[in-house]
Structure 1
Amino acid sequence: MLEMSTFIVLAVGSLFSYILVTTIYNLFFHPLAHIPGPFLCRISAFPSFYHAVKRDRHVWLWQQFQLYGGKVRAAPNLVVFNSPNAYNSIFSHKANVKRSKFYDAWSRNSDDVNALMTSDIEIHARKRRLLNLAFTDHSVKAAGPFIAMHIDRWNELLLDSEGGIDEWSCPRDVSTWTMYLVFDILMDLCFGAVMNTKEPGENPFQKIPQAFDDFVSYNYPITKTPFLELLIWLKPRGLDNLLEYVIPPTIKDHYAFVEDMVTKRLKEQRIDEMGKTRKERKDMLHFLCSAKDPDTDEPAFGFKDLLAEANLLIMAGSDTTSITISSLFFYLTHNQRAYLKLVKEIRDVFPEVEDIVYGPKLLKDCKYLRACIDETLRLSPAGPSELPREVLPGGTTIDGEHYPAGVIVGTPNWAMGRNEEHYGDAYTFRPERWIVSDELESLNLDEDVRKLRRGLHTFLKGPGFCVGQKLAMLQMSMVIARTLWRMDVRLAPGTDIGAGDSKLGWGLRDPRQYVLGDAYIALHQGPLVQVRPR
């Protein structure tokens, strides 16, 4: 029988040998050994994990591009690229890649598999086809009046001048106000439910949107752990049950809320099917509850499936939209020329606020509004880091170089939006870059704009294309247009919440830049604004 001291020596020696052999392999024999990157990143995923914990991983990746060029080995088996060509190679329909195990790590357990959080190609494709039923052009158009109703009430609350100075309201934190607005809209569209989180006073549901931030902040570092493969293997073997005991209370509240909403909605659906009531309006859950499996003609979604998809709709639909709206208010209140130009367009195009509805006037004629949204999506992407893809057998070619099966590749969105080779003045908020113009002083040809758009893919492309893009664009357009039609907006004097600062370090020093945290979905605060009736 081995003595304890001998066992310890053997264990330490084995561990040291493993680390030494792994380090030598990663440095000299790994298929990515020739890719530039920090020394520690070439031998370990700990730097990537560390910055995921710090919530600044997007900025860290941008820094590596400044040091090493357009492709960087950010972990032993991960290459990130900062080029539109690389993006199109990775995310096109023909790309020989699939979602990496990063997505599997997000699931609560084996039952919690939705269209976004799975690496299985067949499961994703099947769930994606069914989700499309809830996001048709007809359903998006039908959502317009309900979106308008919530925005109008939100505008009333914004304009409440109690506690204000002179004719201006008291300062409003756009991030908080927008978070509640978008949550109310989404719960109405998904479940036909009235949450009223945007209303003044105490509301138990106001903690739910904040729980989304807690959810991604808790899970994101786990998905970037150096032991991801082991974690994925352990999850169905008891780790999922163990994690249930240690997850933060707010995340448990989030899970309980989603389960409660789906349970109530299913009861309503059964009553509808029995013919006791008849809802003229069909929310998103109606389409998911009614969906049939084309092979068996049985219901496509069971209760656990509906929980998973509802979780996806709430998380992706609320946080991502509120991030863009908050960011756009930041950039408008820090760029007076762009603000005045946008206000003029909105008030010239629409004689009355009631005219701001789904249709070509809003979605096509308001070119500067769309340009402002696109410019905001470039500078403040809802997903700041890369969406990792695993190369399939046979390999793939990216930027003229072959990558073998098993390698993880991606293009970090925050860094891509600041690619000076592609955008020129990449750190400047200049919506005009997205508008075709033949005027001599602002010459911008159609081919110039098309070239720029090759680098802007906030809603993804290929098999992972966001099914909710049209609904998100409608919400963002209506919120901005109706708000700026009704009121003037300014940055609250003496405030700088959300702005870059020299204390924040390289990449975040510019006070004209809106600061995001990286937890897979962006975290954000501010700006503080004041409003007054026009």
Structure 2
Amino acid sequence: MTLESYLTVPALAATVAAVLAGNIIWTIISNVLASPIPSSVPGPFLARLTSKWILFVDMSGYRARTVDALHKKYGPVVRLAPNELSFSCREAVQPIYGTGSTCIKGPIYDYFGKRGLFQMKDAGEHRERHRRMAHIFSAGSLQQMEPLVQSVIDRTVGAIENKAGQVCDALHFCRMMALDVAGEVLMGKSFGAFDGQENAPVYVKHLDNAYPVWFIQGIAPLVYHTLNMLPIPALQEFMTSGDYVYKYGNDAFEEFLRLNGRTSNRRTLLTKLIAGNPETGAEPLPDADISTEVSNLTFAAVDTTGNTGAYALYRLACHPDWQEKLQTEIRTSRARETNFAYRMLQTLPVLNGVLMETLRLHPAQPSGPLRETTDHSTNIAGLNLPAKTLVSMQAYTTQRDPAYFPNPDKFDPGRWIKADGTINPGTPELQDMMLVWGKGPRTCSGQYMATMELKILLARLMDRFGVALHGEKTHLEMEMTDHFVLIPKGHCCSLVFTTLGS
């Protein structure tokens, strides 16, 4: 019998199937036998066999809620994959995220665009980059940026005024506000979000597409390269979304240099990046790095700040009692008299409580960042873990821990207000469990800018308008999903703003 007689289609198919099945079985056996995680750690059965199941959960947008449910079922430590653990106990905060931690950012950060401060995993490299950038987010810098923020929010309030009494998409307005603020302070030019310019919607379209493109590139590079070769115009536009974001940032940077030079007196964060920090002697970054950093910061600010603003308005619409308390606080304070100066708004306990509860229930990054241990074993919450074990905590779960937040699913700004009516910053234990801004050396640099924007926006809107839901539809739109960042399922927040009397 000749060799050719054996090479039938069924025989080849059976051979391929056997090889694939053998590979899968071998991978599963290897995962079970070689897992660095003690077998006593609980979790779903699939988590012992493969990491693919949690990848599909990630892609569905329900990682935060899935992991939260697992912690409720299994306890404070849960296995998510053969080499991945999720923690929800306070004892894990310091060893994973604190100063001196032996954990570094995990592989997922390689998926998010060009490498800048946000993506850097090496602690020393991150520390050096942070040293050269920290001055732009100092209290003094932010105070200088306030007129730009107020100007953008002026336009936001005006746009909402034009829609008073009608159903409008509050998510759109909040994202456009965040985009224009980022453009003004980071790129030195507005996107014209409220002026009818095309830059804003085109940029946001590419911004929304960039994340899935980078995700595909990270987890399935062969698929990414194949899609890149297909001569389909719409597909090519989609696949180059990330390139558009960085090109826009680079073009804006070069335009700023052309119009203002390197010693401009313009009060923008870009000016400060270009100049470096004379107080510490930190030299400015190379131009290519500045371009990358302002691009990264801009697209990071749009979803985080914009979505948080929309959820705050949604919660106020759901809770007319707290809406009324906030309106009363704004109108009886000196906020209007000071033109809603941020230094005044920082003292208002109801405003602070509303924002803190929004951040607690709807953290901008619900699933939290993945970390991996470094070259040596690490003890986390009593577990000795070898190097390369992926470990994480997520804000969605820790910020709903009933031991620290009684009645955790309730929107209760009062938990952030003391009995004497002043702001309650929370106990150290409670502060440890608030992971919305990250912890330790990796704390979000832009949190104070975002807080300024959100407090000014809420104060000015609640001074001018009442806000109500557009029926059950709004609840369905605002169902939380997460694709690394928080995204309302309906990509919309249908609210009705009604002008209040003076």
Q: Can you list the C-alpha shifts for 1:303-344, whole angstroms capped at 9, x where unaligned?
A: 2x2342122111211210011111111111101221111111
Q: Is the 8 A contact 1:353 1:482 kept in 2?
A: no
Q: Which residue of 1 aligns with 2:272?
A: 287
1:415 is matched with which residue? 397
Instruction: Summarize deviations over 1:13-51 as a string: whole Å, max 9, x none.
Output: 554444333323433442213321111121111111111
Match of 1:531 in 2: 497
1:360-371 equivalences in 2 (<5 Å): 361-363=344-346, 365-371=347-353
| Partner in structure 2 of residue 331 of structure 1 | 315
CA distance in 2, matches of 1:116, 1:318: 15
Unaligned runs of 5+ in 1: 162-167, 501-513
Structure 2 counterpart of 1:375: 357
State the partner residue of 1:505.
none
Aligned to 1:478: 456
3-state SS, counterpart of residue 410 of structure 1:
strand
SS at match of 1:423: coil
Alignment of 1:112-511 (within 5 A): 112-160=114-162, 169-199=165-195, 201=196, 203-220=198-215, 225=219, 244-245=228-229, 249-250=237-238, 252-253=240-241, 255-269=243-257, 272-273=260-261, 279-291=264-276, 300-303=285-288, 305-350=289-334, 352=336, 354-359=338-343, 361-363=344-346, 365-437=347-419, 449-492=427-470, 494-499=471-476
- Aligned CA distance change for structure 1 residues 267 and 217 (closer, same or farther; 3 Å): closer
SS in 1 for 2:391: strand
For residue 89 of structure 1, report the CA deviation from its aligned partner.
Answer: 2.5
Give 1:82 deviation, angstroms: 1.7
Structure 1 residue 483 displacement after superposition: 1.3
CA–CA distance in structure 2, aligned partners of residues 186 and 527 of structure 1: 22
* C-alpha separation in 1, matches of 2:467 and 2:423: 32
Is the alpha carbon distance of 1:315 and 1:170 closer, same or farther for their aligned partners in structure 2, counting shifts above 3 Å? same
* Coordinate RMSD, CA, aligned: 3.2
Select the residue among 36, 46, 51 that pairs with 2:52: 46
Q: Percent identity among equivalent residues?
A: 21
Query: Is the Cα–Cα contact under 8 Å of residues 269 and 286 in structure 1 kept in the other structure?
Result: no
Matched residue, 1:503: none
| Deviation of the 1:375 alpha carbon | 0.9
Q: What amino acid does structure 1 have at the position aligned with 2:27? A: T
Whichever residue aligns with residue 426 of structure 1, its letter is P
Q: How many angstroms does 1:151 deviate by? A: 1.0
Distance of 2:401 and 2:276 partners within structure 1:
43
Q: 1:367 deviation in Å? A: 1.5
| TM-score where L is the length of structure 2 | 0.87
One-letter amino acid of the counterpart of residue 441, structure 2: P
- Count, aligned residues: 488
In the TM superposition, residue 286 of structure 1 has moved relative to its aligned partner by 2.4
Instruction: Report how far residue 9 of structure 1 moved.
Output: 6.5
Q: Which blocks of at least 5 consecutive residues in structure 2 are unaligned?
A: none
Confirm or deny: 8 A CA contact 2:188 2:252 kept in the other structure.
no
The aligned amino acid for 1:212 is: L
Q: Aligned with 1:286: secondary structure?
A: helix
Report the Cα distance in structure 2 between the residues aligned to 1:79 and 1:257, rounded to whole angstroms: 34
Q: Please say if residues 97 and 392 of structure 1, whose CA atoms lie closer than 8 Å, have aligned partners that are also in contact.
A: yes
- Aligned in 2, Cα 1:35/1:298: closer, same or farther, shift over 3 Å? same
Q: For 1:489 and 1:281, how far apart are their aligned partners in 2?
A: 37
**CA deviation digits over 1:52-101, x for unaligned, max 9?**
22112222212222222222111121101122332233100121111111
Residue by residue over 1:470-523, the C-alpha shift from the partner in whole angstroms, topping out at 9 and shown as x without a partner, is 11111111111111112222223x3432448xxxxxxxxxxxxx4222111111
Following superposition, the deviation at residue 450 of structure 1 comes to: 3.5
- CA distance, structure 1, for counterparts of residue 156 and residue 255 of structure 2: 30
Contact in 1 for aligned 2:112/2:214 (Cα 8 Å): yes
